[in-house]
Chain A
């Protein structure tokens, strides 16, 4: 495979966001994924979300594991640093990066194999530590890159393209995220941009561990009749709890919704989420309720999408560690080295 660059032509009439960036400024390399791969749609939604949020592209660190999904960090935000690390270990790399510089935005991209199979442990511990990040799982129920083996999110009874049946129980990362203390938990479908873009925007603004499980059909290996992650299957079984609109703390946008059907969620950083309810009495602030709701619908074969849980007062790892406000990677010997006088005292205490 060779390296392809996109033509850098900026049309003067391209719309600009609040910082003067165009859509183009949020794009990346040309995708090398299969045509129609759900992951590419997620990439498009990430680009859209970052554009709409008017994030400075270089202030984002994109970190991923290994897989088709993990490759996508190269396909958006060209101006930001990316790190395609090792299979299943994105959470630890992201955690370390986040500790080094609390001022960047951390976007973790992973696959279901990456997060639910080989990396389940790291997934779990990053959630329970409350790392301030947006953690997107591009969930297709298979290992795309290694050609279609079942992953741990494949539903029991689902069939592979080669005709094998999966006998193992499926891991629901959303349920795990809830149980482990993630402070923002959502699910979406890659093909539903109107639902996904606001979810990503809100996750980025959320100052804690934000998980979005995005069902993302693999057209090469998991979009056939026996698959429960195919476009058709998901469309038929989708149970959306809400439709989200996102109002950034920096650039308030006015939206008007039927008061009877919206719920406003104030995020810690001042941004607001407006939930347009579909399910009659869904409360996105109730962790236990969300778990019940999820289990209830799963039993009926329904996939709940939308913002499933949010804690509007999240705590993150830096707060737990009480780290200084300045990024640790900017500290110099002046702040870090106690000097020879202190060492003399230590010597004296060791005699």
Chain B
């Protein structure tokens, strides 16, 4: 008996699986998470994996959350410790009163355990060795077997698990039977030998609704398919590779001409990121919708081309699935650390449009929208994902598409317009929005051809090194950037129901943790107005929001408060008004972290939230 009361909770706890990379645990762990979902209980799973193919430790954390808090929570209530290498750290991570599930085949000395947790041993290896002779099967079925044992301990609906297995092995009866059998081996052993259920329990609920369970990278790929991308060029890099992979497999299904069986898409694995962005720039210059997917190191390599695309005004879409830098940093850990390197990518005076999706559903929307924005603004558009959104399954609203929607190809002058005598100046601002017309190569035998270059030119694309036309062009580019403020997704605001002098600005994958932290803070009497930034350049409401509050916390997942710097720089805000809340150890930010950090600072400001003067 543990010397601390065991945690008791229904539909609200965290299970962490500690495994060895490449041991086949991933599908069993995902089966566990999906089974909980099938019981109508929201889950939020996260992969914590090494930059390695086989042998190093890997974890899969499932937050079970009836209340629907999809951010990481921090702490572990039930540890499924399947990796001797990380045993000590894993055990240490368990919350007091928590549970440890382990393979008890080999006896371990009492010093290996903790006295304040409940220890549950199942001789998984022994059962496997008894049941299977093939070493591969022993390994694989051990994973399914612990899912079976957990189903008994947590009082899970076993039919939901069986149903999932049958969907997974549709048409492969033998595999279905073998997996089901392994599931029951584990389950039956637990039912026979252990006390069940433990203090952590699952109960059917109806909190999942019609939501879907999808990775951000897949949603981005689908957004690119729906947004009309026809050229994709990429170079493999974690955590973005699965985006290009998903685009490839969705294209195989959705982009094959029904009659000719030919592809209306071209996907090139470039020799590096320079080539990838070069291919995108070439394709977009020539009127195709093109994109690349990469991560920080790739963005670094693309800098020169990004300046060209900015200056020569070529649409391009980039998905930056951010990982912890600098350099190779922590390539399999999450951060929001490329904000500045993307916003100001390249030499000279450059600024780029960034979009910050909070989850896969918004990633889908923004991915499709990015292609419209790129064409409309004739400039690179960055969709800023991160590993947390990109590579984890996330519960989110279903993806939607309006069939009446038309692609906005922007200001493209056609042969008809040229024949009708419309004046064409490639860099001529005809209506004040800073955006000129372009022509696609090959449009007209005698009109509309122009020379694209990274060197300075006048409004009619004629080479010049004179100061005035250069400055004129640079000013127009600024006007275009102003236009972008109104076209890009606006910030979303959620005001506290009580007046407050304090606000919070946050973005991207911080969203679910922030929402949850806000509830905690509110319960503690700390009221905050929230603003979620969804794009750079910042809409004027960001400045208004800051002006309306004494202090604004800027919550982000990097060391240098990059978004805060952008706000200070672009909006001319006194830095003292913006309090950075920074989380950058590579793990996803948690509600606990935010609530503590903001709570402490509010206390330090001696705050019991005061009524705003005049409010």
Chain A residues at the B interface, C-beta cutoff of 8 Å: 1-3, 56-59, 61, 63, 73-74, 78-86, 89, 91-101, 103-104, 121-122, 124-125, 129, 317-318, 321-326, 328-329, 331-333, 335-340, 342-344, 346-347, 350-351
Distance, CA A91 to CA B454, complexed state (A): 16
Question: Which of A1, A97, A322, A326 has a CB less than 8 Å from the CB of B441?
Answer: A97
Which of B286-294, B429-437, B489-497 interfaces with chain A?
B286-294
Q: A99 near B288 (CB under 8 angstroms)?
A: yes
Q: A347 near B398 (CB under 8 angstroms)?
A: yes
Residue pairs across A and B with Cβ atoms less than 8 A apart, 21 shown, are A58-B446, A79-B445, A86-B278, A89-B275, A92-B282, A100-B288, A321-B263, A322-B263, A324-B260, A329-B283, A329-B440, A335-B257, A336-B230, A338-B225, A339-B403, A340-B403, A343-B400, A343-B401, A346-B222, A346-B399, A347-B212
Distance, CA A93 to CA B276, complexed state (A): 9
Q: B230 near A328 (CB under 8 angstroms)?
A: yes
Distance, CA A103 to CA B233, complexed state (A): 20
Q: A323 near B282 (CB under 8 angstroms)?
A: no
* B393-413 contact mask (Cβ, 8 Å, vs A): 1 or 0: 000001111110111000000
* B-chain residues with CB within 8 Å of residue A340 when the two chains form the complex: 400-403
Distance, CA A343 to CA B398, complexed state (A): 9
Q: A99 near B231 (CB under 8 angstroms)?
A: yes
Distance, CA A97 to CA B254, complexed state (A): 23
Distance, CA A321 to CA B264, complexed state (A): 10
* B-chain residues with CB within 8 Å of residue A122 when the two chains form the complex: 271, 274-275, 278
- Leading 5 A-B pairs by shortest Cβ distance: A92-B278, A96-B282, A100-B288, A81-B441, A329-B287
Q: A351 near B212 (CB under 8 angstroms)?
A: yes
* A-chain residues with CB within 8 Å of residue B68 when the two chains form the complex: none
Which of B3-11, B172-180, B381-389, B461-469 interfaces with chain A?
B461-469
Question: Which of B210, B265, B271, B441 has a CB less than 8 Å from the CB of A101?
Answer: B441
Count how many chain B residues have C-beta atoms less than 8 Å from C-beta atoms of the other chain: 76
* B224-253 contact mask (Cβ, 8 Å, vs A): 1 or 0: 011010110100000000000000000000
Distance, CA A85 to CA B304, complexed state (A): 10
Query: B407: nearest residue on chain A (CB-CB)?
Result: A333
Q: B465 near A321 (CB under 8 angstroms)?
A: no
Query: A339: nearest residue on chain B (CB-CB)?
Result: B403
Chain B residues at the A interface, C-beta cutoff of 8 Å: 37, 210-214, 222, 225-226, 228, 230-231, 233, 254-255, 257, 260-268, 270-272, 274-288, 290, 304-305, 308, 398-403, 405-407, 439-446, 449-455, 458, 462-465
Question: Which of A56, A78, A336, A346 has a CB less than 8 Å from the CB of B255?
Answer: A336
Q: B401 near A96 (CB under 8 angstroms)?
A: no
Query: B38: nearest residue on chain A (CB-CB)?
Result: A351
* A-chain residues with CB within 8 Å of residue B262 when the two chains form the complex: 322-325
Q: B407 near A332 (CB under 8 angstroms)?
A: yes
Question: Which of A3, A86, A318, A336 has a CB less than 8 Å from the CB of B304?
Answer: A86
* B-chain residues with CB within 8 Å of residue A73 when the two chains form the complex: 451
Q: B226 near A338 (CB under 8 angstroms)?
A: yes
* B-chain residues with CB within 8 Å of residue A56 when the two chains form the complex: 445
Distance, CA A122 to CA B304, complexed state (A): 15
Q: A63 near B440 (CB under 8 angstroms)?
A: no
* A-chain residues with CB within 8 Å of residue B282 when the two chains form the complex: 63, 83, 85, 92-100
Given contacts A93-B278, A100-B231, A347-B399, contact A1 B465 (CB under 8 A): yes
Query: A81: nearest residue on chain B (CB-CB)?
Result: B441
Q: B442 near A104 (CB under 8 angstroms)?
A: yes
Distance, CA A79 to CA B270, complexed state (A): 31
Q: B462 near A324 (CB under 8 angstroms)?
A: no
Q: B443 near A58 (CB under 8 angstroms)?
A: yes
Distance, CA A273 to CA B210, complexed state (A): 65
Distance, CA A333 to CA B407, complexed state (A): 7
Given contacts A329-B286, A333-B228, contact A350 B213 (CB under 8 A): yes
Question: Which of B230, B267, B275, B452 has a CB less than 8 Å from the CB of A329?
Answer: B230
Distance, CA A332 to CA B288, complexed state (A): 10
Instruction: Please give 6 more A-B residue pairs, beta carbons under 8 A apart, in addition to A79-B445, A336-B230.
Output: A92-B277, A95-B278, A96-B280, A99-B279, A100-B287, A343-B400
Query: B463: nearest residue on chain A (CB-CB)?
Result: A3
Q: A58 near B444 (CB under 8 angstroms)?
A: yes
Query: A342: nearest residue on chain B (CB-CB)?
Result: B254
CB distance from B370 to the nearest CB of A (A): 15
Distance, CA A339 to CA B176, complexed state (A): 34
Q: A93 near B463 (CB under 8 angstroms)?
A: no
Q: A3 near B260 (CB under 8 angstroms)?
A: no
Distance, CA A2 to CA B453, complexed state (A): 15
Q: A80 near B257 (CB under 8 angstroms)?
A: no
Query: B255: nearest residue on chain A (CB-CB)?
Result: A336
Question: Which of B211, B230, B284 has a CB less than 8 Å from the CB of A331?
Answer: B230
Q: B230 near A100 (CB under 8 angstroms)?
A: yes
CB distance from B453 to the nearest CB of A (A): 4
Query: B277: nearest residue on chain A (CB-CB)?
Result: A92
Distance, CA A56 to CA B453, complexed state (A): 23
* A-chain residues with CB within 8 Å of residue B211 when the two chains form the complex: 351
Q: B287 near A101 (CB under 8 angstroms)?
A: yes
Q: A321 near B266 (CB under 8 angstroms)?
A: yes
Query: B258: nearest residue on chain A (CB-CB)?
Result: A335
Q: A337 near B228 (CB under 8 angstroms)?
A: yes
CB distance from A191 to the nearest CB of B (A): 27
Question: Which of B257, B260, B399, B449 has a CB less than 8 Å from the CB of A343?
Answer: B399
Q: A95 near B279 (CB under 8 angstroms)?
A: yes
Distance, CA A100 to CA B282, complexed state (A): 8
Question: Which of A3, A328, A347, A350 has a CB less than 8 Å from the CB of B266?
Answer: A328
Question: Which of B230, B439, B452, B458 has a CB less than 8 Å from the CB of A84?
Answer: B452
Q: A339 near B260 (CB under 8 angstroms)?
A: no
Q: A125 near B271 (CB under 8 angstroms)?
A: yes
Distance, CA A116 to CA B465, complexed state (A): 29
CB distance from B315 to the nearest CB of A (A): 12
* A-chain residues with CB within 8 Å of residue B402 when the two chains form the complex: 340
* A-chain residues with CB within 8 Å of residue B228 when the two chains form the complex: 331-333, 336-337
CB distance from A119 to the nearest CB of B (A): 10
Distance, CA A188 to CA B340, complexed state (A): 48
Query: A2: nearest residue on chain B (CB-CB)?
Result: B464
* B-chain residues with CB within 8 Å of residue A94 when the two chains form the complex: 282
Q: A3 near B454 (CB under 8 angstroms)?
A: no
* B-chain residues with CB within 8 Å of residue A339 when the two chains form the complex: 401, 403
Distance, CA A73 to CA B452, complexed state (A): 11
Distance, CA A203 to CA B497, complexed state (A): 72
Distance, CA A58 to CA B270, complexed state (A): 29
Distance, CA A121 to CA B271, complexed state (A): 8
Q: B264 near A78 (CB under 8 angstroms)?
A: no
CB distance from B231 to the nearest CB of A (A): 5
Query: B281: nearest residue on chain A (CB-CB)?
Result: A93
Q: Which of A57, A59, A61, A81 has the most CB of B within 10 A?
A: A81
Q: B463 near A97 (CB under 8 angstroms)?
A: no
CB distance from A179 to the nearest CB of B (A): 16
Distance, CA A200 to CA B402, complexed state (A): 50
Q: Which of B281, B402, B405, B439 has the most CB of A within 10 A?
A: B281
* A-chain residues with CB within 8 Å of residue B453 when the two chains form the complex: 83-84
CB distance from A168 to the nearest CB of B (A): 23
Distance, CA A276 to CA B265, complexed state (A): 42
Q: A82 near B308 (CB under 8 angstroms)?
A: no
Distance, CA A350 to CA B364, complexed state (A): 14
Distance, CA A63 to CA B441, complexed state (A): 11
CB distance from B1 to the nearest CB of A (A): 41
Q: B212 near A3 (CB under 8 angstroms)?
A: no
Given contacts A84-B452, A346-B399, A350-B212, contact A96 B442 (CB under 8 A): no
Given contacts A58-B442, A328-B265, A343-B226, contact A96 B286 (CB under 8 A): yes
Q: B449 near A1 (CB under 8 angstroms)?
A: no
Q: B214 near A337 (CB under 8 angstroms)?
A: no
* B-chain residues with CB within 8 Å of residue A95 when the two chains form the complex: 268, 275, 278-279, 282
Distance, CA A239 to CA B212, complexed state (A): 69
CB distance from B179 to the nearest CB of A (A): 20
Query: B219: nearest residue on chain A (CB-CB)?
Result: A350
Distance, CA A336 to CA B368, complexed state (A): 12
